[in-house]
Amino acid sequence: MPTFSRLATSVLLLALLLPVPAASAAEFNVTVADFFFAPDELFVNAGDTVNWTWDAVAPHNVTPVQEGAFTPSETMTEGTYAVTFETEGTVPYFCTIHSAPDGSEGMVGVVNVLAEGEPLPEPLPTPRPAPDPGALPSADDAVGTALAWSSLFDDGAATTVLLGRDDVFADSLASGMAQGFEDAPLLLTASEALDDRVAAELTRLGAQRVVVLGGTDAISAAVVTQLEAQGLTVERVAGPTRIETAIALAQLLRPDATSAFLVRADGTPDGDPTQAFADSLSVGGLAASTLDPVLLSQTDRLSDSTSAYLQGSSIDEVTVVGGTEALSEQVATDLEALGIAVTRVGGATRFDTSQELASAFLQGPPDVVLLVDGQAPDAWVSGFTAASAAESAFIALSNGPDIPTTTADLLLVQLPAPAGTPVLCGPLTDPVACERAGVMGQATSLPSPDVRFAQMQGSNEVPPAPDGPLGDFTLLPTPADDAVCYEMVTYQLGETATGAHIHAGGAGVAGDVVVALTSPGDLTTVRDCTFDVDPTLVTDIFANPADYYVNVHTAGSPGGAVRGQLFAPEVIGIVELQTSSEVPPSDAAGNGFGLFLADRDDDTRVCYFMGFFIDGEEAAAGHIHEGAPDANGPVVQELALPPGVPMTGGAAEGTLCVQVDPALQAALLTSPSDHYVNIHTEAHPDGAIRGQLFNPFAGPPPGAAAAFASAR
């Protein structure tokens, strides 16, 4: 459900454990974010108090898995809930809305209560502050690039430093985990002699120990002698090949690891050197955070050395990074034969893989996005040495001066924090790409009143096109006066899109193209920006949205397949459609979600995204009712239903608008929680799934907590 993703990810926050000292007991804080608890595990003593503080868009609650362990919280989006734990034991808890019914997975957490006075595990170290956005100092070579990233460490802040060879990436390929585990930068030097700049940096950092990556062919004995002459302890981690070096690093630092990443060890037959490390660029930063070892394998099968290591290790989960051209299906089969659970995360390109990794592993926005040129032959230099740049960082990829659409998707939707996502650019990153990524990181989405929205359908075209497909378009404000950033979604378009534009023209008028947008092609969702637009035009589009429309063209409808007039939206609320919310509860099998918006310039118009699934049943009708969560009320507005998703029976998804009485629009805006939405089927004429309207930006609605808490 694209609209939900846009809302939810725009407000995700990371948090750290903050102990509050007290005379005889302590307090611990947990952030209730979308859709996780941070931290999700606590160690406390009997008599200590845990404070859960909400910072979320969607409604959440804190409920013990074992009934009676503590009193559940109400369902809300803001406020604090406190529990004092008096009895020793392990207390798992969950949000009943966004977890499995038994609390086994989803939005879950646990409080481990130790005896009063029993020492608690060592607290997490205070993280280094996130670096400022912008660009690092320029660099002319690999050594200088590594030094630029290392400059983010304060003087005397790194007692351990990793050292790799400056002209070959092989032994640095698996260094991400080590950088995070040791909180250590990766420096590079020539093989035969220690670079003077590196020697000076070791002194500045206050280094006491250097971990050398690779054998003497990579870093010579002469370099080790020079390091020891500086009074440093030197530890060499090496194997016959890069594969064994990665294993040695895992054995040294993470002998008890239970999960790992697996990446390709070698390049392609055509000799493209970037292919070997392409899928590892973003993995390094993730491994620095998760502390999962990065292991290597050949492409056609699991390498013997890696297989032997895994058989003797405690690792039972492996994430295979990259598509089958990087690591074949045989590699996955070989892992499964060892009894290891395998998850593949990979796309058609390194840019797609980076996006997939973010989707799979990031629970919230990082402190900073590190932008690295992912296509440059020496991309490894910046990508690998960036892994230690911040406690919470993600390495995103540019392509020369361009921001690929998958990276734009990350910056505009998946990674943003409420105050924007800082972007720090590597020394080798093109300045144009750096500037554009910075703009994307600061784009604002719903519920900002500054966004502009359009609901698209065929009947809006001039002349009208077939009215089956739907779409929606959100224009995102940015700090740049010459950028048009947006999210565009099409539903059941039925054929490949050939173009997309913003046109000048009011409703019922065919106007000229004023901004070319990225064509969706075969995609359903595109998030991107068009740059170098006339600033006067950008200002006018936001100021006078009704004078502009958006449409998508196809070969079958070259004049436009779906079109929508821009308008200024105001959030009415969201609904989570559940069978348990019906009164009495429905025995249907289904669920859904909806987002409702009002047109601020038209008091008779309400637009909404709805996506839902009812197993084995087709939706027959949808309504807005007036009524409290525990009561049935009269229909106040019939809703048009989005078309069914092909091949999925009772599934439907799309954005539509309806004409409403002005008094109803006003009532929905001022008291959304006095209304509910439901979907009816022939088998469930009184309602199959239902949800109370809820404005997530105005606090929990009176009386709605019970309905949300009972939802599964």
Identify the CA nearest to 462 among candidates 505, 520, 495: 505
Q: Please state, rounded to an integer, the average pLDDT across all residues of the chain.
A: 88
Q: What is the distance between the terminal CA atoms of the chain, rounded to a whole angstrom?
A: 18
pLDDT confidence tier of residue 706, bands split at 50, 70 and 90: very low
Beta strands 525-530 and 484-491: pairing type?
antiparallel
- What pLDDT is stored for residue 12 in this prediction? 29
348-400 pLDDT tens trace: 888 888 888 988 888 777 878 899 998 887 888 888 998 888 777 888 999 99
Burial call 32-61: b when 16+ CB within 10 Å, e when fewer: bbbbbbbbeebbbbbbbbbebbbbbbbbbb
Phi then psi for 475, rounded to 5 degrees? -90, 120
Helix (H, G, I), strand (E, B) or coil at 251: helix
Written as six digits, the tokens of 643 are: 């078309």
Identify the CA nearest to 369 among candidates 275, 319, 459, 437: 437
pLDDT: which is higher, 387 or 247: 247
pLDDT confidence tier of residue 667, bands split at 50, 70 and 90: very high
Q: Please state the pTM of the whole predicted model.
A: 0.80
The amino acid present at 561, given as its one-letter code, is A
Identify the CA nearest to 699 among candidates 34, 78, 4: 78
List the catalytic residues: 60, 95, 98, 107
State whether the Cα torsion 33-39-45-46 is positive or negative.
positive
The residue with tokens 């969702």 is 525
pLDDT confidence tier of residue 271, bands split at 50, 70 and 90: low
- The number of beta carbons lying within 10 Å of the beta carbon of residue 635 is 13
Helix (H, G, I), strand (E, B) or coil at 441: helix
In this prediction, residues 458-480 reach a mean pLDDT of 93
- The number of beta carbons lying within 10 Å of the beta carbon of residue 363 is 14
pLDDT: which is higher, 192 or 278: 192
Q: Which of 282-296, 441-455, 532-546, 637-651 has the highest mean pLDDT?
A: 532-546
CB 511 within 8 A of CB 560: no
- What pLDDT is stored for residue 376 in this prediction? 84
Burial call 544-556: b when 16+ CB within 10 Å, e when fewer: ebebbbbbbbbee
Helix (H, G, I), strand (E, B) or coil at 42: strand
State whether the Cα torsion 287-288-294-299 is positive or negative.
positive
Question: What is the radius of gyration, based on Cα positions, of the chain?
Answer: 27
DSSP character string of 71-96: PPPPPEEEEEEEEE--S-EEEEEEEE
State whether the Cα torsion 324-328-333-334 is positive or negative.
negative
C-alpha distance from residue 446 to each of 32, 477, 695 (Å): 20, 10, 12
The amino acid present at 616, given as its one-letter code, is G
- The number of beta carbons lying within 10 Å of the beta carbon of residue 632 is 15
Of the CA atoms within 13 Å of residue 637, those in its CB half-sphere come to 25
